[in-house]
Chain A
Amino acid sequence: MPDNLQLNSEGKLKHFLTIEGLDKQVLIEILDLAESFVGMNDGRIKKIPLLRGKSIVNLFFENSTRTRTTFELAAKRLSADVLSMSIATSSTSKGESLLDTIRNLEAMSVDMFVVRHGISGAAHFIAQHAAAHISVINAGDGQHAHPTQAMLDMFTIRQIKPEFSRLRVAIVGDILHSRVARSNIQALNTLGVAEVRVIAPKTLLPAQVETLGVTVSHNLAEGLQGIDVIIMLRLQKERMSSALLPSETEYFKCFGLTEERLKIAKPDAIVMHPGPINRGVEIDSIVADGPQSVILKQVSNGIAIRMAIMAMAMQKQGAM
């Protein structure tokens, strides 16, 4: 179901909700298109007219200045008109229903929604109920998916290590709550990497996680052996108060990426992180700022990838 929802009648991308259900070819097309947008950044031309006249609304039910700004910039570089809305949702304030929010915006001639929401499945729901001409991009829904982040991670990896089939990738941290982890696992497997390894304490792993197509390790030192790419996940403060972990210090002792631990991985291994970084909790500053870190590259690639995804989702919408 989700995959058919994402493709239009000609099999072209219409919504971008999750990596699941998209085949390798579509992912490569996104990466290739993003490549050409990166080239555009020689600074001489700031925008291209690809989406001129189109209206994009950033619907952020969950706060995120970084992601929202990247999407805004990406839309503007495609010459689209952008509107950003931060919608507070709390159980006490009974605001508009999700459906009503969408309908009201549709009445203002919108072409695309970029949605970030705290509940898994929100983007799918919006895609299913929005008017037929609207495209929906998932900027992160609950714990389910963050497909644009996964694509920019794949893009960053490809820039440095173009041969996916040889790569062993480790994802370290709170897999249980991470939509970044889920989408990355799907993207890596679709692109055919040699191995995806999740490294986490038992409390932070979802049930039967191997069914996602990963190997599991509970020990960072063991788990990093033979690894080409290390993706560190952010540890959120709430995990301590919900009895998942005793303290940040203890987490860092077992699962923090220090210089010594980094040496266990392959000598040319790269270090990634979706941000924002908790220095001294999941990663040591010296590693985050070190030569093997590509964290800043990830950030700068974020705009080009989002431009590519938005352009691909909007194309052929005027098909006769």
Chain B
Amino acid sequence: MIVNRLQIPSLLDTLEKQIKQTIVSRRLTDPLMIGIRTGGVWVAEKMHQRLAIKQPLGLLDISFYRDDFLQIGVNPNVKPSQLPSQIEGRNIILVDDVFYTGRTIRAALNEIFDYGRPKQVVLAVLIERDGKQIPISPDCVGISINLDAGQRIKLTGPDPLGIEIQSVDVAA
């Protein structure tokens, strides 16, 4: 199923609803929302606003926690993570744009836990696609889709938000 630009608002609506439900079912009192750079931050900003979360939004850069440093090297233009308050004992809503292999989330969890021990972490993503490589799953999704071999999906933004599907050469 191909997703076009016009449906972003509906994805956001679905995601918002799911997060609201999860806040109740998982008893996420005084939640701390953290967006993963860069696309996750755009999505998190929308959610943060819609859900009227009091705590300022946290920004997480996982460049230094990636597991492919030896293969692709280091990104020189890294902005440091900004987590506005303590992690210890907090209920965290971690937000990303696209959930694919799961490695980004693993890196994000490693980084968050280096800051402190949260009470729980709930994962919210705008788009979940096939191709998982790590046993992690999002708790809230805007939509789940399957893509053809060689296709990549990307969020563009920040204003307006859009979705791009690219064809990438498949390695043999």
Interface footprint category on A: 20 to 34
Cβ of A12 and Cβ of B70 under 8 Å apart? no
User: Which 10 pairs between the two chains have the least Cβ-Cβ distance?
Assistant: A318-B70, A39-B80, A36-B78, A315-B73, A48-B64, A32-B76, A29-B76, A33-B76, A45-B114, A316-B73
Q: Shortest distance in angstroms between B118's beta carbon and chain A's nearest beta carbon?
A: 14
Q: Shortest distance in angstroms between A315's beta carbon and chain B's nearest beta carbon?
A: 4
Total residue contacts A-B, CB cutoff 8 A = 55
Is A40's beta carbon under 8 Å from chain B? Answer: yes
Which residues of B53-79 are within 8 A (CB) of A?
A: 63-65, 69-74, 76-79
Q: Shortest distance in angstroms between A108's beta carbon and chain B's nearest beta carbon?
A: 20
Cβ of B80 and Cβ of A40 under 8 Å apart? yes
Cβ of B79 and Cβ of A316 under 8 Å apart? no
Give CA–CA (A208, B53) in the complex, Å: 67
Q: Which of B71, B79, B111 contacts A36 (CB 8 A)?
A: B79
By the criterion of a CB under 8 Å from any partner CB, how many residues of chain B are at the interface? 19
Cβ of A319 and Cβ of B114 under 8 Å apart? no
Cβ of A45 and Cβ of B115 under 8 Å apart? yes
Tell me the dominant secondary structure on chain A's binding face: helix
Cβ of B69 and Cβ of A50 under 8 Å apart? yes
* Residues from chain A with Cβ under 8 Å of B151 in the complex: none
Given contacts A33-B78, A36-B78, are A49 and B72 in contact (CB under 8 A)? no
Is B156's beta carbon under 8 Å from chain A? Answer: no
Cβ of B71 and Cβ of A319 under 8 Å apart? yes
Q: Which residue of B lies closest to A29 (CB)?
A: B76
Cβ of A48 and Cβ of B79 under 8 Å apart? no
* Residues from chain B with Cβ under 8 Å of A94 in the complex: none
Is B110's beta carbon under 8 Å from chain A? Answer: yes
Q: Interface readout for A47-60 with B: 1 if CB under 8 Å, 0 if not?
A: 11110000000000
Give CA–CA (A315, B71) in the complex, Å: 7
Which residues of A277-320 are within 8 A (CB) of B?
A: 311-312, 314-320
* Residues from chain A with Cβ under 8 Å of B111 in the complex: 45
Q: Which of A29, A33, A44, A315 contacts B69 (CB 8 A)?
A: A315
Contacts A44-B115, A45-B115 aside, 4 further interface pairs with beta carbons under 8 A come to A32-B76, A42-B80, A312-B73, A316-B72
Cβ of B71 and Cβ of A316 under 8 Å apart? yes
Q: Shortest distance in angstroms between A20's beta carbon and chain B's nearest beta carbon?
A: 21
Cβ of B64 and Cβ of A320 under 8 Å apart? no
Q: Shortest distance in angstroms between A42's beta carbon and chain B's nearest beta carbon?
A: 7
Cβ of B64 and Cβ of A317 under 8 Å apart? no
Q: Which residue of B lies closest to A314 (CB)?
A: B70
Cβ of A48 and Cβ of B80 under 8 Å apart? no
Give CA–CA (A129, B76) in the complex, Å: 30
Cβ of A33 and Cβ of B74 under 8 Å apart? yes
Q: Which residue of B lies closest to A39 (CB)?
A: B80
Given contacts A48-B64, A49-B110, are A312 and B74 in contact (CB under 8 A)? yes
* Residues from chain B with Cβ under 8 Å of A318 in the complex: 70-71
Cβ of A39 and Cβ of B114 under 8 Å apart? no
Give CA–CA (A319, B111) in the complex, Å: 24
Cβ of B64 and Cβ of A50 under 8 Å apart? yes
Give CA–CA (A317, B74) in the complex, Å: 12
Q: Interface readout for A186-222 with B: 1 if CB under 8 Å, 0 if not?
A: 0000000000000000000000000000000000000
Q: Shortest distance in angstroms between B112's beta carbon and chain A's nearest beta carbon?
A: 10
Q: Shortest distance in angstroms between A151's beta carbon and chain B's nearest beta carbon?
A: 13
* Residues from chain B with Cβ under 8 Å of A320 in the complex: 71
22 sample A-B contacts, Cβ–Cβ < 8 Å, listed by A number: A12-B73, A29-B76, A36-B63, A36-B78, A36-B79, A39-B80, A40-B80, A44-B83, A48-B65, A49-B64, A50-B64, A50-B69, A312-B73, A312-B74, A314-B70, A315-B69, A315-B72, A315-B73, A315-B74, A316-B71, A317-B70, A319-B71
